[in-house]
Amino acid sequence: MSNTNVADLSPNKRADFYSSRPKNVIDSSKRYQAMIETGKGNIVVSLNATAAPEHVNSFVFLSQEGFFNGLTFHRVEPGFVIQGGDPQGNGRGGPGYTIKGEFGLKHGEGALAMARLGDNMNPKRESSGSQFYITLAPTPFLDGQYSVFGKVEQGMETVRAIRVGDTINSIKITEM
């Protein structure tokens, strides 16, 4: 989509960098895994491209572009969620596009899901293109409102150790 190495841009310059959702970079019949490398350790998540192909595609694309490199976890709610992927670091930034909701998966402990702006700013309830969260406990009240697209397979101890301001060093994608 671009000739610029996004990872070389400062986080603020990554905000609204893309004018539209990425073209398809995944095969929704295949399995993908992401390793989120943080200063506190690694978090390995399985990505469900069958149930949430648009969300997995965006996450894989942005990871491959280096979009997440150096961004922080800007929100930590003990017993609830950790949230990152905002280039502005304040909960309002994104890559420049949103994603239509995909609501087939549930919010169990370790669910990887996309955040979204509030209904007053986002009446279509579309997901952020980049802001993701990981649940620290089952949160069934979020089912059908936020799009789950993966699950932590290893590293819940790292998820629990994350604090506001901790950095996402990189996200590496593996096709399984």
pLDDT in tens, 129-171: 999 999 999 999 999 999 999 999 999 999 999 999 999 999 9
Q: What is the mean pLDDT of residues 115-124?
A: 80
Q: What is the mean pLDDT of residues 56-72?
A: 97
Q: What pLDDT score does 50 carry?
A: 95
Q: How far apart are CA 98 and CA 84, in angstroms?
A: 16
CATH number belonging to domain 31-175: 2.40.100.10
Q: Which residues of 37-48 are buried (b: 16+ CB within 10 A; e: fewer)?
A: bbebeebebbbb
Q: What average pLDDT is seen over the chain?
A: 94
Q: What pLDDT score does 125 carry?
A: 81
Largest Cα–Cα distance of the chain, in whole Å? 41
